[in-house]
Amino acid sequence: MNVQNDILSKYIEFQRFLDGINMEELKSLSREDLSTLKKQLHEVNHRNLPYEIGKIIAKKKEDEFPQILGIHHYPELQEITFLNEATKLEIDKHLISFRVGQYLNSFYRFISSSEKVLMLEDFLVDKGIVEQMFIVKCPCCTHGHLSEPLTTEVWDALKKRIQSMEDEEDFDSLTDEGFLESYCMECDDEIDLSLLKNEKRIVVKKALKLIKSRDTTYDNV
């Protein structure tokens, strides 16, 4: 009998034994005896064989496909010339912690240079991995959100409309159309239209939305 049959038959045998335990028989034991048995059962350290086998499989897969030790979820990252290999690998792993449609965290925990962070963001946008989105925030507290995340096109159009607003009525129409809130929940106050029109005061936060799924070439090999 080979080792896998040996393991499997013992596994099944033990499970069958468990399935066959007569609960009525157990009920006839005293509460004290049951408590002791429960404690003793908890003390038995079960070996998690499927987990250990999984680790062996993963190691074998790495030996067979060394590519999976490097950048492979988003192979485009290999083209980046302004970051070192270790950082690019971290970015590759970081990106897979998000689902398509989710907003990414900042890259500053991997890259200290703000110039390089911007270069990376541009790169990811160019490659169609992320989409740049814009959120209008309250010009007073800079925390309250006045808009949903907007695409570049929608934001450009909205910016023009904000600039052309002449009175509160124009502002109300933007609110009615669902583009912009005229009230900040954080400040608990109405937004001052003149602050939004002032390009030095308007606060717009950029957000990156993941739009491309990772490469799954090596998932099921």
Interaction site with Zn ion (CB under 5 A): 138, 140-141, 144, 184, 186-187
Q: State how far the Cα of 120 lies from the Cα of 83, in Å rounded to an integer.
A: 9
Least separation, in Å, of the C-beta of 184 and Zn ion?
Answer: 3
CB closer to Zn ion, 144 vs 149: 144
Q: From the CA atom positions of the chain, what is the Rg in Å?
A: 29
The b-or-e profile of 161-194 (16+ CB within 10 A means b, else e) is bbeebeeeeebeebbeeebbbbebeeeeeebebe
Three-class DSSP category at 205: strand
CB closer to Zn ion, 130 vs 184: 184
CB closer to Zn ion, 117 vs 187: 187
CB closer to Zn ion, 138 vs 150: 138
Least separation, in Å, of the C-beta of 182 and Zn ion?
Answer: 12
Least separation, in Å, of the C-beta of 142 and Zn ion?
Answer: 7
Tokens representing 121 are 């963001």
Least separation, in Å, of the C-beta of 185 and Zn ion?
Answer: 8
